[in-house]
Structure 1
Amino acid sequence: MQFLQKIISELLENHHDISGLDIVLPGKRPMVFIKRILKEKQYEGLLPNFITIDELIYELSANIEIKGIALWLFAFRIYQKIDSAEDFSGFLKWFPTLQKDWDDMMKFSDDDQKILLWMLDEERIKNWGDDLGEGDNPRKRNLNFWRKMNEFLPLLKSELEKENLATSGMLYQEAFSKLEKFAEQTDRQFVFCGFNALSRVEEKLVRQLLRWDKAVTYFQADQYYIDDERQESGKFLRETIKWKEYNDSREFKWIENQFSQPKNIKTYEVSGNIVQAKFLPQILKKIPIEELSETALVLLDENLLPAVLDSLGVIQSVNITMGFPLKNLSFSNAVKKLFYLQKQQEKKSSSYYYADILPILEELPNDEKDSVIIRDFIAAIEERNIVYISRTLLTELLGNLSYFHLLQKPENYQAFLDLLIKFCYELKFKELDDIQYENIALFENVFKIIKNQLQPYNFDVKIETLEVLINQLVNSETIDFVGEPLAGFQIMGLLETRLLNFKNVILLSVNEGKLPLGNTQNTYIPFDVRKNFGLNTFLENDSIYAYHFYRLIQDSENVHLLYNALSSGVNTGEKSRFITQLEMESPHKIDNIIIENTSEPIAQALMKIEKNDEVMRLLSEWKKRVSPSHLVTYLYNPIDFYLNHILKTRETNEIEEELSQRNYGNLVHYALQFLHEPVKGKILSINDLENLLQQTDQAIDFAIEKLKHQPEFYDKGMNFIHKEIAKRVVRQIVEYDLQLVKNGSALEIIDLEKEINCDFYLDKNVPTTDKISFYGFIDRIDRLDGIIRVIDYKTARPKHLTINLGKNKDEKLPELFFRDDYKQALQLSIYKYCIKNVLNINPEYIEPAIWSFAEVNNGPQKLYFIDIEDSEVEDSIRNLIDEILNPDIPFEEKEKVSW
């Protein structure tokens, strides 16, 4: 803390007792270090009075500061006298920004009314001679806006003064008029430490006190950026040096020459924000343990704090100056989603979207009873694929949830606030970790503050507006860390580094837009108007950031600057121009290091399962009930076969917002089953089939009910299209059958969803116990002109149903079904084998076929083997099963091909 050491040393030299001094600081943090320095110097007197410059200026005002929500509510009540048509929600969209502009006007200019008139006159000049018409347009809105502001803001100031209240800008404006008298009459001695950019009021305060010899000033400047007019970091101090108060009898203190001293400066180009935190331990390993208390980590992006803390396992003592943002915690996210849900209810929605409900239930703390209710709720909506939940159904499924009332539409905002306060209060008595408890307690306090602030006002507040008010408080709230500020590795934001110096400095996210912030000012006052009236623009703000940056590193020996080079989201991947300035202008050699993502790639080794005794035992169990689809799965990927059909693992259900291909197939299946079931077992007539055509809509409704889907799931969007396509496919199948009958064919539907069970002997010559038992369901078995058709419905197009192995038949036949492109032929062949054996039908009269919904007008496309006997087909099936059961052939994962 070299700068503070110098200040205290000089003060103790000039004052035996410094208890009568007022030490004025930019912030509170340096107080702790000053006290330590005084202790080290064995100072035994009373401590001086520590005060910030804002507090000093506020002392000069007789009014009380009003800000935030209290100011917004007060201002809205006054604005209603100007424009009673605008509601509070609309008012909040522009007033907070205008209020900051207004405070700037009063802090930096002589007369805020002059700027307001300027803005109005500028709009008048822009529109001079033009007819803006009667309708609404941007130019007319701007003119009316500044006309209202010239009336509203003076009225607001007058009303605030009547109540002895003032905004920050009003306090500064009032103090400005009292500065000369205060400087003349006060008997206090002030010490101003480490200031850089001063407002008009602050500058006059310091200069008046200097003229009356009631103040001393200490600035931390460096020749590097003071002597160079191009250096924006020295912009304000170069102006301060020119004050006439600094002369032969009062020198400007101090201009050092530290920046040009030898330094080790390294920049790190890192791919991704989190990688910066992951690489941090590599830097810290090179810093001696005894120097960690002289090391500062400066986070230019507060969102990196959790990742940084996760990476600091090697550090024993850490002091975190910046608080953990409340808005980033799980309970905060749940409250945010709860308000979003209520906004949807405010729009008079008749149902709840499942994705609005689930995150709230998952992120709020739940006891065992609530957890059971939530599990049952999730299981119910997943089983029935409920995307939009009616109010009645929500009450049925979640009505016993302890906080169910929070999910319902409240009577008004007061009732909702009362529910939230009660909910937070009751939560604090449950088992919570410390962070959860702090999070909930802070929210409870925020809800109470909002309720108390709104109570005196008699106007309606929408849930959306209530959310804005709560966010205003929550976004500025942090959970403070408990630590020893004078020891250990220091983690802080850039502003917390003011007046402090460290031997080792590490900055993360040194990106353009983070350092400096750039042209991100949210203001209604154009750049040229701000410049003309002396208000800060983004250029002045950049100069302030530049000073903080250069001042921080000027006394450091080792500087590490990390920036995210990855362009993603709002991040441009562009390093800060301050790094470029160091590289091009500074006397130091900058080491540039590129950090690749250090995470190890996920192992790509394909899974392999040896067939040990336990696996063989499971395979023996599997042989008792084998579906043709099991063999198809094996063809696709043996590992999937092992996991799904041997270990019997199952994928979790997921709610489909758009109908899946599988459920689309089921929709058609069930509809056809509904139509054909009443006419099963009879020779179909033209009248029968025409009647079926009339029942298509009813059949689809039946299928939807059987799928346990809600009818409204199909009311709009792609699901409506899927339903209409399914309806058309069902009609086309019935129409195809109708055309056959009209052409004189005899068609009889024998069975639907026919369950088959048949034994398949692995040694065809000796029927023994060495067998497998096939089972399955055949979608449709019918008789067309004496031929038994075994029909399997498919959503996909049929392929490779005509099989001709040609001259290489003997070579290819044994491994015919070892290829997944013959999966449909394999399934149909098994169906034919089972029908032949179970129903004792001559295979010559059995015709297995695929009826594809994608090519429905082509009818059932039959399986046809050219010059291949049924017995040879069965031998090929045996070969596939033998491989599955072979203990020497492991299950090996097939490499997935990406197209």
Structure 2
Amino acid sequence: MKAFVNRIVAYVDEHGLNYQHVCIVVPSERMIAYLQRAFYEFHQKPVLSPKIVTIDRWIQDASPFPVLDRTSLLFELYEIFKADPVEIDVNTFDSFMTWGQTLLSDFDEIDRYLVAPNQLFKNLRDIREIENWSFNSTEELSKGQIQFMAFWDKLKPYYLGLEERLKEKKVTTKGKAYRDFANQIERAFEENQEAQFVFAGFNALSESEISLMRQFVIMGRGHILMDSDEFYFNDLIHEAGQFQRELCRRLEVQALPFVENRLMNKKMDVRIVECPQFTSQAQVVGSELKKLTGEQLNNTLILLADEGLLSSILKHLPAEIEQANITVGLPLRQTSLRSWVDLIFRLQESFMRRGNSSIYYRDFIQFAHHPFILGVLSAAEKREIQEIESRIINHNWHFLDCKKLDLSKRLEELNRLVFEPWKQDWLQGIRIIQQLNEKLDLWLEEKNELERAIIRRFASATVVLQNIMNRNAPKMNLGSFRNLFNGNWSNETIAYFGNPLEGLQIMGLLETRGLDFDRVLVFGLNEGAMPPQNIINTIIPMDLRKYFGLPTPREKQGLFAHHFYRLLHAANEMLITYSSASESVGSSEPSRYIQQIELELAQMNPGIRIQKAFYTAGNREKVETTSIPKTDEVINRICEVLRDGISFSMLDKFMTCPLDFYYRYVLRFGEENKVEEDIESSTLGTIIHYVLENLFSPFIDRYDESGRKISGKAVTEEDLAQMEKKVPLLVSKSFEKHFSEDQNSWQTGTNHINFEVAKEMVQNVLRRDRAILKENPGKALFILGLEKKLETAIVINSDSYDDENSSGKAFEVRLSGVCDRIDQFDGIHRIIDYKSGSVSQEKVELKKTANQENYESAILINKRKGSPDQKYVLQLLIYCYLYYKSTGILTDKAGIFSFRSIRESPHFLNLPDDVQKEDIPDLLERILKQTISDMLDKSHPFVHNKDSKYCAYCN
């Protein structure tokens, strides 16, 4: 069967219409190219085709006045509103914007649908009066109700005032251009008195469009060609044919050319594929395209039911496809431009909120890593950015002063533009953005062709807004300007280059009007995507819209239904994909069109064969547990780690999870360095340690400049009381140092709570020491060391290690640790470790069960199983061992001071009766040698300990 565009050409020829006098009016730009090719194919040679134009362009060309853009119209309406305001808290442009745009849409529809404004506004006011009236009320209307009613009284003056204002300026609106043309049809013949008009491929028409067509038909100068099918045209309740039936009724004809009977008689294969994710649909479509030849692709359409999936389908286009034409274009709002504009406005909001030009570090990092900036920077400039980021992390900077950053010339210039406050001068803001566009366009490298195209399209839209703002921009806040700015560019697209007549065609539904394809692949046919959820923003109630013939959601659904069914006319094959992923409300539902094809069309036409399938990407291979064999290279690396020094935390990590130990210490995968915005528990502990060290330092033995020893003095209750008074200042200095003197970072919010917690914890430690001294009068407390690093060497014999620099199989392991506090109380040496967490006595008790051979095996087993029992025993044993090796003194007591259980602290290591403090060195050496032997045992690879939690690396 002939395609619709070929039938149009045949109709023009059959009716002897002179090409010189014929104007063919169509609904879309895409249809023009197909019609021109149809004329060439009909004549088999180049010919001068009739004039072919879209209806929007035709009407605007016929208007004696230019159509004003939407933003300028909003400004004009605001000027009218200011001259005659309504006191309903809408006295600024910012609040006016919320309903001004809706009002413009309603005014436009009033004109386009030839509604009598006097009658509509009167009925609208009457409805609002009824809503405010009650049978049982004897009270007068409140002030708010009176203002509310006054607003509806103002709608007619606003409408008429805007009309007069635009007449004075000799401009018009699109709706007014339609109304005026319908009322002055003679304009169509000003250039050509013999003109004939062919209206082809229209569906949903406004009242002004129907009026135009009807007048031309009555004059014998109009021809209306439909592309319809008896299946839905003759079905009085089918939404796909409602507009065409209405057009025939208004023209007082039974039918218009061309209403054919294709859908009831044709053969068509329909495959419906349900996909578990949105993006997996692209894999289905891509697989189907691989099966098609070049000639088949010329008659194939990919219909994007959800145009947001365009980037997904582009990634899955097979390499074999040589030609593809994308009509929808790439929306700028789906590119990196969106994050760029968001960053620019977020900075301005920050400047206004804080009243200074300091920059939040995350915004600076986003700026430095944005594709636009990365496309500009040289290798040296990128290293410069890395150095700045290192400084930010090392100094824990939250806010930056870009003027103090040492930057290259180009970076300095970009920084100056991006991070310059606009100070509510929106034209200045536009000029700065334009300068940024110029720099980026100039400096972007050739390989960044997409980014350059985005910037150029964006720059063009920015010039349009600048011209509008220069003319008549009212005062507004940053939020309103941002909305205007985004509305100006967010609907712009970047056109893809392609042949509109050859190869695979990728289109949205509206671009398919008037076009036919043998093969249609519908991508993303979910309810809500097609038909779309057409929410109408209007101040006119739906029943009143219905009465005056204005569009309602029902009409909008009928519009899309016809566009979809029209594609079935010529299609012999159809592949439909939809997603069952419940990522948003309603998104997992297949479109109603799928069920209509299956339950209506296929039931009446057995030639339509439907197959259903569920797409699966196949079973993934089972992921094997990570196992790292201990090769000679790995063993040598472990020995390097051991020689460099091993601590309790490293031993604890190996016992808890060998694989975690391998990643963290053998491969040196450390924690990611980052700016700490909220004080973490580890940092809070460090701050408390720092303050306690400063408070107790004056009481430790020290040496003067000449090397003479100055003995420390005993700590008294009075000393501790004086220390308490110093705590707030010392904690404050610690926080200032951590936050690089940015007091705003910790004087409010979570960090201020942590500040108060730190003060309270330090004071609690001092109070506990005072209580102990008070309970033990006459006993002296001496501080022997604070944050004291102790270390020693242990000789290890291992058959696994072979180093030519070592003597035999023996090598030294350096063991080290930092003791928070070493003191002497009543002549007893004590080692105390501060903990911010809660500690109980059972966690510092050395014990074993009946089935455990000895105490070292009990400690090792508890560690491997992650048992909380004896959690701190090994750590305290190590401290006792290190102190003994350093001083020759066997520690009397070693314990944990918990900041959360102050009254019970310190919790001292409790040894069983069969273990004395003299046994500690041998006991610990056995534990160390057994652990290190396990590390170097080649028969046991590094694997995850199933009893411990997965770390970021193990997982």
- Pairwise same-fold verdict (TM > 0.5): yes
* Distance apart, 1:532 and its partner CA: 0.8
* Distance apart, 1:688 and its partner CA: 0.9
Q: 1:613 aligns with which of 616, 632, 635?
A: 632
* Distance apart, 1:128 and its partner CA: 3.6
> 1:601, 1:859 → 2: CA distance?
53
Partner residue in 1 for 2:258? 253
* Distance apart, 1:429 and its partner CA: 1.3
Partner residue in 2 for 1:471? 486
Partner residue in 2 for 1:94? 99
Letter in 2 for 1:65: V
Q: 1:579 aligns with which of 585, 594, 607?
A: 594
> 2:141, 2:396 → 1: CA distance?
54
> 1:601, 1:94 → 2: CA distance?
53
* Distance apart, 1:829 and its partner CA: 1.5
Superposition pairs of residues 308-707 of structure 1, within 5 angstroms: 308-314=313-319, 315-350=321-356, 352-363=359-370, 364-365=372-373, 366-368=376-378, 371-387=382-398, 389=399, 393-397=401-405, 401-405=412-416, 406-411=418-423, 412-432=425-445, 433-457=448-472, 459-569=474-584, 572-587=587-602, 588-596=608-616, 598=617, 604-624=623-643, 625-680=645-700, 681-707=712-738
1:802 aligns with 2:845: yes
Q: Is the 8 A contact 1:323 1:478 kept in 2?
A: yes
Q: 2:933 aligns with which of 864, 867, 882?
A: 882
Q: 1:163 aligns with which of 147, 154, 169?
A: 169
* Distance apart, 1:679 and its partner CA: 2.3
Q: 2:72 aligns with which of 47, 58, 70?
A: 70
Partner residue in 1 for 2:893? 847
> 2:100, 2:615 → 1: CA distance?
45
> What TM-score results when the alignment is normalised by the length of structure 1?
0.93
Structure 2: runs of 5 or more not aligned:
603-607, 701-711, 799-806
Cα 1:153–1:241 shift into 2, 3 Å:
closer
> 2:6, 2:900 → 1: CA distance?
83
Cα 1:99–1:780 shift into 2, 3 Å:
same
Partner residue in 1 for 2:819? 778
Cα 1:556–1:466 shift into 2, 3 Å:
same
Letter in 2 for 1:790: I
Give the SS at the match of 1:550.
helix
Cα 1:279–1:858 shift into 2, 3 Å:
farther
Cα 1:898–1:834 shift into 2, 3 Å:
closer
> 1:452, 1:656 → 2: CA distance?
45
Q: Is the 8 A contact 1:374 1:398 kept in 2?
A: no
> 1:89, 1:38 → 2: CA distance?
53
* Distance apart, 1:465 and its partner CA: 2.6
* Distance apart, 1:691 and its partner CA: 0.8
Give the SS at the match of 1:94.
helix
> 1:631, 1:849 → 2: CA distance?
19
Cα 1:452–1:220 shift into 2, 3 Å:
same
Partner residue in 2 for 1:192? 199
Partner residue in 2 for 1:731? 763
Q: Which moved more, 1:864-873 or 1:446-455?
A: 864-873
- Give the root-mean-square deviation of aligned CA atoms: 2.8
> 1:134, 1:451 → 2: CA distance?
44
Cα 1:521–1:357 shift into 2, 3 Å:
farther
Letter in 1 for 2:816: Y
> What TM-score results when the alignment is normalised by the length of structure 2?
0.88
Cα 1:663–1:278 shift into 2, 3 Å:
farther
Cα 1:144–1:360 shift into 2, 3 Å:
farther
> 1:111, 1:591 → 2: CA distance?
52
Write out per-residue CA displacement over residues 600-651 of structure 1, whole angstroms, 9 at most, x where no aligned residue.
7596433222222222222222122112211111123222212222232333
Write out per-residue CA displacement over residues 395-437 of structure 1, whole angstroms, 9 at most, x where no aligned residue.
3237873222331322422222221111211221113311111
Give the SS at the match of 1:808.
coil
* Distance apart, 1:26 and its partner CA: 0.6
Write out per-residue CA displacement over residues 277-309 of structure 1, whole angstroms, 9 at most, x where no aligned residue.
233222323444431121111112222111111
Letter in 1 for 2:928: I
Structure 1: runs of 5 or more not aligned:
none
Q: 1:718 aligns with which of 750, 756, 772?
A: 750
Give the SS at the match of 2:789.
strand
Cα 1:69–1:885 shift into 2, 3 Å:
same
* Distance apart, 1:490 and its partner CA: 0.9
Q: Is the 8 A contact 1:265 1:558 kept in 2?
A: yes
Cα 1:295–1:398 shift into 2, 3 Å:
farther
1:214 aligns with 2:221: yes
Letter in 2 for 1:543: G
Aligned-residue identity in percent: 27
1:831 aligns with 2:838: no
> 1:551, 1:873 → 2: CA distance?
84
* Distance apart, 1:482 and its partner CA: 0.6
> 1:62, 1:97 → 2: CA distance?
26
> 2:813, 2:471 → 1: CA distance?
81
Superposition pairs of residues 98-247 of structure 1, within 5 angstroms: 98-128=103-133, 136=144, 139=145, 142-179=148-185, 186-244=193-251, 246=253
> 2:81, 2:185 → 1: CA distance?
32
Letter in 2 for 1:689: L
Q: Which moved more, 1:814-823 or 1:38-47?
A: 814-823
Q: Which moved more, 1:220-229 or 1:715-724?
A: 715-724
Partner residue in 1 for 2:792? 758
* Distance apart, 1:516 and its partner CA: 1.4
Partner residue in 1 for 2:34? 33
Partner residue in 2 for 1:788? 829
* Distance apart, 1:839 and its partner CA: 0.8
Cα 1:119–1:243 shift into 2, 3 Å:
closer
Q: Is the 8 A contact 2:21 2:194 kept in 1?
A: no
* Distance apart, 1:99 and its partner CA: 0.8
* Distance apart, 1:740 and its partner CA: 1.0
Cα 1:630–1:316 shift into 2, 3 Å:
same
> 1:510, 1:823 → 2: CA distance?
58
* Distance apart, 1:76 and its partner CA: 2.3
> 2:63, 2:535 → 1: CA distance?
32
> 2:593, 2:149 → 1: CA distance?
40
* Distance apart, 1:582 and its partner CA: 2.0
> 1:319, 1:23 → 2: CA distance?
25
> 1:857, 1:376 → 2: CA distance?
47
Q: Is the 8 A contact 2:75 2:474 kept in 1?
A: no
Letter in 2 for 1:544: L
Cα 1:259–1:632 shift into 2, 3 Å:
farther
Cα 1:326–1:657 shift into 2, 3 Å:
same
* Distance apart, 1:360 and its partner CA: 2.9
Letter in 1 for 2:60: Y
> 1:112, 1:644 → 2: CA distance?
75
> 1:166, 1:145 → 2: CA distance?
25
* Distance apart, 1:261 and its partner CA: 1.8
Q: Which moved more, 1:694-703 or 1:37-46?
A: 37-46
* Distance apart, 1:232 and its partner CA: 0.6
> 1:57, 1:445 → 2: CA distance?
25
Q: Is the 8 A contact 2:23 2:197 kept in 1?
A: yes
